[in-house]
Amino acid sequence: MSALFEPYTLREVTIPNRVWMPPMCQYSAAPEGPLTGAPHDWHFAHYAARATGGTGLIVVEATAVSPEGRISPYDLGLWNDTQAEAFRRITGFLAAQGTVSAIQLAHAGRKASTDRPWKGGAPVGSEAHGWQPLAPSPVAFDDSHPVPDELTVDRIREIVEQFAAAARRALDAGFEIVEIHGAHGYLINEFLSPHSNHRTDAYGGSYENRTRFALEVVDAVRAVWPDDKPLFFRISATDWLEESGWSPDDTVRFAGELHAHGVDLLDVSTGGNASGVRIPVGPGYQVPFAARVRAETPMPVAAVGLITDAEQAAKIVANGEADAVLLGRELLRNPSWPRLAARELGGEVRVPKQYHRSV
């Protein structure tokens, strides 16, 4: 059997295979009213289709820990119990299919309050359900974004607690794994990188200070997340800046520290914190960053980034470059990719009885 279809255990959670779905925002939640930020039929159908297609682990899209932490007014949230209750329909169905459910907890920072991508993704104001973004420093993402409000230390501590509260609700909602979003130019990534963090207090300046907020979030979430359940962290391994940015060396150093603080797997992506950079996009272009973390630290890793065919995915796992692969666009195109890949490689995935004709 291909290593791609071997089970993988972290703490006491066993994932049936190494084909995983990364968080991909759907921008489809209600922007106002009693069900603001709650998943509904679209989200259920979206995640259910990939579960019936054989995906071993599904990471639910970036879910905000507070209203102002959303990327757009149409993002999912987990800052109240109504939202947690709505997620149970999804986690229950995924569990019935043998798929492990995870959720990415996030705060968008200075990249918050934007429109949906198919509407252009530009910043929106109060007339379109928008709000004033927050960030480590009053530095706009680019010329089209507003200058965010600089977070006070009291507000930083409040956001740390919001992550912990969201993790408690994630457990109540039935999730088996929590992932902390520290990538793609959102709030935690903004603190990590000197490109976006210009603070002069205990949360800025040195590497130790810039990583302080991220580690405080990890510690707060780990304190409320059960010891038998894994905790993931998503990171941008590089800002793709030659100078003054977060680097692959920083990522390797930080991976060891995250592992010591109770993170069980690093979900390795890149970019998103600096506008206008040139990224050499190509098949598997981010895999080497994951492979380096896995080789140089005790941290397990998942690789992502234009992984599209079965042989390519299988080799990444078999060669020890990553412990699992995350397929984004390919699973959007083909929810049954894992089943088809298993047939091609001689592996096995669970097939719903109702789909017995497809075996």
Ordered by where they begin, the domains of the chain are 3-358 (3.20.20.70)
Whole-angstrom distance between the N-terminal and C-terminal Cα of the chain? 17
20-30 residue pLDDT tens: 999 999 999 99
Asked whether residue 211 carries a pLDDT value surpassing 80, the answer given is yes
Q: Alpha carbon of 319 to those of 81, 316, 322: distances in Å?
A: 43, 5, 8
Confidence of residue 300 (pLDDT cuts 50, 70, 90): very high
56, 16 in Cβ contact below 8 A? yes
What does the pLDDT read at residue 359?
Answer: 75
What does the pLDDT read at residue 125?
Answer: 95
* Residues labelled catalytic: 186
- Give the tokens for residue 256: 């060891």
85, 43 in Cβ contact below 8 A? no
Q: Is the dihedral of CA 254, 259, 56, 169 positive or negative?
A: negative
Rg of the chain (C-alpha set)? 19
307-320 residue pLDDT tens: 999 999 999 999 99
What does the pLDDT read at residue 9?
Answer: 98
29-67 residue pLDDT tens: 999 999 999 999 999 999 999 999 999 999 999 999 999
Confidence of residue 243 (pLDDT cuts 50, 70, 90): confident
Dihedral (Cα; 248, 14, 326, 285), 10-degree rounding: 40
Closest CA to 186 of 119, 256, 128, 104: 104
What does the pLDDT read at residue 141?
Answer: 97
Burial class (CB in 10 A: 0-12, 13-18, 19+), 339: buried
Q: How far apart are CA 191 and CA 235, in angstroms?
A: 12
Confidence of residue 358 (pLDDT cuts 50, 70, 90): confident
SS3 212: helix
CA 290, 2, 180: angle at the middle one, nearest 5?
35
Determine what percent of the chain is predicted with pLDDT higher than 70. Answer: 100
279-289 residue pLDDT tens: 999 999 999 99
What does the pLDDT read at residue 184?
Answer: 97
Looking up tokens 């970019």, which residue turns up? 271
283-308 b/e (C-beta count within 10 Å ≥ 16 → b): ebebbebbbbbbeebebbbbbbbbbe
98-140 residue pLDDT tens: 999 999 999 999 999 999 999 999 999 999 999 999 999 999 9
What does the pLDDT read at residue 143?
Answer: 93
Which residue would you say has higher pLDDT here, 323 or 356? 323
Q: Mean pLDDT, to the nearest integer, of 66-75?
A: 98
323-350 residue pLDDT tens: 999 999 999 999 999 999 999 999 989 9
